[in-house]
Structure 1
Amino acid sequence: MTEPNTAADAATPADKAAGSGAPGTRAIRETAKARRRGSWYVAEHRFRVMRSYGQTVVMTAIGNPIIYLYAMGVGLATLVDGNLGAGAVNGVSYLAFVAPALLCSAAITVASEEFTYPILLGFKWNPIFYGMNAAPIQPGQIMNGIVISVAVRMFVTCGIFYVFMLLFGAIPSPVGFLVVFSSLLTGLGFGAVLMGYTSTLTEDTGQIAMVVRFVILPMTLFSGTFFPLAVLPVYLQWIGWISPLWHGTQLSRVFAYGAVEPIWLTVTHVLYLAALLAVGWLWARRVTVRRLNK
């Protein structure tokens, strides 16, 4: 019997079979990995896209709190506190009253940017969602990845805003850091519903612009942002009651300076925003499955 003189000759039939099947096995393994981590791959893609307008993201995250808090703290707050007294608005300064609302409004702004045109882009103008769906990534994972990426950007934006609130002395409460999470829930709750609606659009005929003008702007004006909701006539207060911005603002005020309200109302704020997040998220997933699997 001659001794094998090469590694190939020494390999057993089982080794050769395993070796010949290695590429296929590796492909199956990568496919399974993509199916497990598809949501994170989509989120990574969105982070890479955000890099193309990263300077705008950073400048907005830093510039907005400086401009708005300075304007409210040095400008309007000086007039309000000078005429009504330092504790005339909910027992705190006007800056402390309005700052949590501005924080929630910043989260709503991020939601209006990331849950609208990027969704329409992925379905129509640059239909990358169809390419993702052709890979092992599932339609629901596409929406999951978008929510993850927006949540990260929103969390960073709200965190930076919170730091400036501290610097301006707008957070008297020791648990004020919780406003970051309440504003995050506010932005995601509103944004998820907006994402679900945008997912249904097949043509851009100005619907998103209409949402900004006739939903987001009135929501800001009638949600107790710059003055207590009770100041409005009763026939207009219902706008605040159904507004996610009002629920988020009130919840943030509880954390920021201990605004007094019944515990059942605080729980209602959380449940309402969480329900919006769940409903909008599921809506967007269902629409995406239907559109991509036609």
Structure 2
Amino acid sequence: MRARRYGSWYFAEHTLRVMRGYALSLLMYSVGQPLAYLFAMGVGLASLVNTNGSAQFGGVGYLTFLAPALVASGALMSATGEFMFPIMSGFKWRRTFYGPHASPLEPGQIANGHIIGVTLRILAPTAIYFGIVLLFGAAGGPWAWLTIFTATLCALSFGLPLMAYVATIQTDAGQFAIVQRFIVTPLFLFSGTFFPLTALPLFLQWIGWLSPLWHATELGRVLSYGYAEPAWLTVVHVLYMLAAAVAGWLLSRRIFVRRLGK
């Protein structure tokens, strides 16, 4: 009865225990990535950008403009890995979903547990990333700390639909490489990460409009330094990411039930 009631949390515990095997790598990645990006892009490149075009970034320095995008993109990159490889491993490579399914845990609880575990795994490094941003003096607004949660929501709004897709894959034929090269990389480059989306030609701006990363980046800038945008657009950012995350969650549960059986 306890397993049936708390099954999602039991599987979340399993997910987190598995992650302990590469906890040191996660910690070093959580610290090393923001330091590398903030030094290279926010300090090195910013010294040139601030001299030649600071007016393009809403009156703030380039580092302040860039920081919310880096926090959100770091969370999205983490979600990409955690919602691809463990799902494929659970269904095909190591079939680790079938053992828990032989217990009283239901397929929907297995899906929920993985989502809960990955959410906690993303939330903690994102908080570390934001702390390093604070040390660089790139998040001075009183609501800047909320970017931890908007970046995590960004990760879920991209990662959960990706999880639903990976759960349908029967044969590994290079789909992950295609996702990384033709979806994740364009989102990173064309979501207003390094420059305003309006600086792109119109035939590329649609990538940003559909990208959860752009919505999270714009929302993070509003929270970090009061980036000027209409209130209705801020609401759209939140609703878009919530809708994508909920849709991905529902699809994932449905596909888990179909593949594992009731």
TM class by shorter chain equals over 0.9
- Give the TM-score normalised by structure 2: 0.98
1:160-171 matches, cutoff 5 A: 160-171=128-139
Contact 2:42 2:66 in 1 (8 A): no
**Equivalent residue letter for 2:40:** A
The aligned counterpart of 1:200 is 168
Distance 1:89 1:281 in 2: 35
Write out per-residue CA displacement over residues 193-225 of structure 1, whole angstroms, 9 at most, x where no aligned residue.
110111001111110110000000001111100
Gap regions ≥5 residues in structure 2: none
The aligned counterpart of 1:228 is 196
RMSD between superposed Cα atoms in Å: 1.0
Write out per-residue CA displacement over residues 255-275 of structure 1, whole angstroms, 9 at most, x where no aligned residue.
011111111100000000000
Indicate the SS of the match to 2:219. helix
Contact 1:81 1:88 in 2 (8 A): no
1:229-248 matches, cutoff 5 A: 229-248=197-216
Equivalent of residue 186 in structure 1, options 151, 154, 161:
154
1:44-59 matches, cutoff 5 A: 44-59=13-28
Counterpart check, 1:92 vs 2:98: no
**Which has the bigger relative contact order, CA under 8 A and spacing at least 6?**
2
Distance 1:112 1:191 in 2: 6
The aligned counterpart of 1:284 is 252
Larger Rg: 1
Distance 1:59 1:155 in 2: 15
Distance 1:197 1:248 in 2: 22
Distance 1:106 1:224 in 2: 14
**Equivalent residue letter for 2:163:** M
Contact 1:219 1:239 in 2 (8 A): yes
Contact 2:190 2:205 in 1 (8 A): yes
Indicate the SS of the match to 1:123. helix
Counterpart check, 1:255 vs 2:213: no
Distance 2:196 2:53 in 1: 14
The aligned counterpart of 2:4 is 35
Which runs of structure 1 show a deviation greater than 3 angstroms over 4 or more consecutive aligned residues? none
Shift of 1:92: 0.6
Shift of 1:84: 2.0
Write out per-residue CA displacement over residues 125-155 of structure 1, whole angstroms, 9 at most, x where no aligned residue.
1112111111100000011011111110111
Gap regions ≥5 residues in structure 1: 1-31
Indicate the SS of the match to 2:33. helix
Indicate the SS of the match to 2:86. helix
Shift of 1:113: 1.1
1:134-153 matches, cutoff 5 A: 134-153=102-121
Shift of 1:88: 4.1
Shift of 1:73: 2.7
Indicate the SS of the match to 1:212. helix
Indicate the SS of the match to 2:97. helix
1:97-112 matches, cutoff 5 A: 97-112=65-80
Contact 2:30 2:128 in 1 (8 A): yes
Shift of 1:72: 2.0
Distance 1:106 1:170 in 2: 16
- Give the TM-score normalised by structure 1: 0.87
Distance 1:74 1:261 in 2: 26
Percent identity for Structure 1 against Structure 2: 53
Between the two proteins, the alignment pairs up a number of residues equal to 262
**Equivalent residue letter for 1:78:** S
Distance 1:235 1:184 in 2: 29
The aligned counterpart of 1:16 is none
The aligned counterpart of 1:60 is 29
